[in-house]
Amino acid sequence: MDSIIVTGNGPLNGAIPIAGAKNACLTLMPATLLSDEPLTLTNAPRLSDIKTMSELLRSLGAEVTSMQDGQVLALSSHTIATTKADYEIVRKMRASNLVLGPLLAREHEAIVSLPGGCAIGARPMDIHITALETLGAEIELKDGYLHAKAPGGLKGATHELRFASVGATENVVMAATLAKGTTVLKNAAREPEIVDLVHCLRKMGAQIEGEGTSTITIQGVDRLHGATHPVVTDRIELGTYMLAPAICGGEVELLGGRIDLLEAFCEKLDAAGISVEETEKGLKVARKNGRVKAVDVVTEPFPGFPTDLQAQMMALMCTAEGTAVLEEKIFENRFMHAPELMRMGASIEVQGGTATVHGVERLKGAPVMATDLRASVSLILAGLAAEGETIVNRVYHLDRGYERVEEKLGALGAKIERVKG
Ligand code: UD1
């Protein structure tokens, strides 16, 4: 397995592009299953999770062609060969569960293995299942697979999610586009990736209102057609690289960045003493004079502080002035980076869903282990600010979510290299 070696090398400066959003692309791709006409996605990120989703869609009979060095994906699901999403592919990535809604909608049946993904919590699928059952699906769990069917097709209904789950909202919205009648989804998630999905579905002929609010209304139509759609900017990659000059000092421009994707996060950076400015091309981030100040963070569904930036924010707080309390409210097991950061000299106490970080002057390089996607990158960020060499082992999760990380950070002056293992 590959490792990444980072050596603290002073301030970072320059400009780097931000890719299309992994989490948007992973929900836009299964939307191909809703139509027999082609769907073209532009601004796609070059990531191993995208390859896994391509593999899954191909196994269902879709054609997926990657063009322009992976930035354009041509998808076509003229016919669906099978409605079974096999464990061998699904176990690699939780987002595989996003084929459930589209398959049920178009084929009136789906057999989908319960997913895998990062080990950050239990991550069940009850919210997806209850919502799809309200639309008339019959769903049973057998041999690790969800067996879902909707004889005669799904029917629109009103349903309130017990929690604003991102994946459940995406599955239900896709399923409801081809249901008979109107679906009103209450307590829907409001993430920018859902807004992006709705924009794409609308181009395909879906009738949807209310995206970006907690109530989404979908009027079912008989069929959807082809479309071309650019994937929205990855707000998590954006936030991650905004933290690089925050931790190391310097001034970095993130091309394609937008404050509205990350308002709660930008407010915390401001309170910590980091300046964020909108430019014509994106966002410019610089550390104001002196040491970063400790700020408390609570992760919440959008528009709150994203759980996917909690690990990276913790890396920043490790060398802040004062004590920061980080509360994780979305996933129950998402502090696995804390003991690794402590190996680098950080002072952190974890109790249940709360981590208390007492800022230290300087971190020291150490060999550390990447335990999940966002944890991996938090260790790289910490390594950039540490004295000496940090070896981040087991970085395969990193490649699931960050394209060309060595190239991008290297372009800003970071000393970072990959060792093939
Ligand atoms: C998506 C993102 C992930 C991000 C998360 C929260 C993708 C591919 N992944 O994941 O990067 O961290 O949103 O912003 O878009 N839950 C249940 N039952 C369910 C579904 C969820 O209990 O049926 C719980 C989960 O265990 C978790 C919480 O709800 O505690 C949030 O999950 P959800 O919003 O569904 O996240 P994902 O869609 O898996």
Would you say the CB of residue 330 lies under 6 angstroms from ligand 1?
yes
Q: What is the mean pLDDT of residues 257-275?
A: 97
Query: What pLDDT was estimated at residue 227?
Result: 98
Q: How far is the CA of 218 from the centre of ligand 1 (A)?
A: 22
Work out the pLDDT band at 290, boundaries 50, 70, 90: confident
List the residue whose alpha carbon is closest to atom 26 of ligand 1. 123
Range scoring the smallest mean pLDDT among 169-183, 214-228, 237-251, 387-401: 387-401
Catalytic positions, written as ranges: 118
Work out the pLDDT band at 421, boundaries 50, 70, 90: confident
Bond into 303 cis (ω within 30): yes
Q: How far is the CA of 421 from the centre of ligand 1 (A)?
A: 31
Q: Where are the beta strands (DSSP E) in 241-396?
A: 250-255, 274-278, 282-287, 297-298, 323-327, 347-351, 354-358, 367-369, 389-393
No. of H helices and E strands in the chain?
Answer: 14, 24
Rounded to the nearest integer, the mean pLDDT of the chain is: 95
Work out the pLDDT band at 332, boundaries 50, 70, 90: confident
Query: What pLDDT was estimated at residue 298?
Result: 98
pLDDT tens digits, 72-126 = 999 999 999 999 999 999 988 889 999 999 999 999 999 999 875 545 555 689 9
Q: How far is the CA of 167 from the centre of ligand 1 (A)?
A: 6
- DSSP letters, 59-82, are HTT-EEEEETTTTEEEEE-SS---
Query: What pLDDT was estimated at residue 371?
Result: 85
Would you say the CB of residue 124 lies under 6 angstroms from ligand 1?
yes
Locate the ligand 1 atom nearest the alpha carbon of residue 122 and give its number.
Answer: 26
Hey, which of 163, 194, 237 would you mutate to test ligand 1's pocket, going by the most ligand atoms within 8 Å of its Cβ? 163
Q: Are 312 and 239 a contacting pair, CB within 8 Å?
A: yes
Would you say the CB of residue 23 lies under 6 angstroms from ligand 1?
yes
List the residue whose alpha carbon is closest to atom 17 of ligand 1. 124
Residues belonging to the chain: 421
| pTM: predicted TM-score of the whole model, two decimal places | 0.96
Q: What percent of the chain lies above the pLDDT cut of 90?
A: 90
Distance (Å, whole) CA 36 – CA 281: 37
Distance (Å, whole) CA 179 – CA 305: 34
Work out the pLDDT band at 396, boundaries 50, 70, 90: confident
List the residue whose alpha carbon is closest to atom 24 of ligand 1. 123
List the residue whose alpha carbon is closest to atom 23 of ligand 1. 125
pLDDT tens digits, 24-74 = 999 999 999 999 999 999 999 999 999 999 999 999 999 999 999 999 999
Q: How far is the CA of 86 from the centre of ligand 1 (A)?
A: 21
* Residue 211 in this model has a pLDDT that exceeds 80: yes
Would you say the CB of residue 322 lies under 6 angstroms from ligand 1?
no
List the residue whose alpha carbon is closest to atom 11 of ligand 1. 308
Query: What pLDDT was estimated at residue 123?
Result: 67
Distance (Å, whole) CA 225 – CA 174: 14
In degrees rounded to 5, what are phi and psi of residue 255? -75, 130
Q: What percent of the chain lies above the pLDDT cut of 70?
A: 98
Q: How many Cβ atoms from other residues are within 10 Å of residue 94's Cβ?
A: 19
Would you say the CB of residue 127 lies under 6 angstroms from ligand 1?
yes
Q: For residue 413, give the nearest of 9, 17, 16 by alpha carbon.
A: 9
Residues contacting 138, CB < 8 A, separation 6+: 148, 149, 150, 151
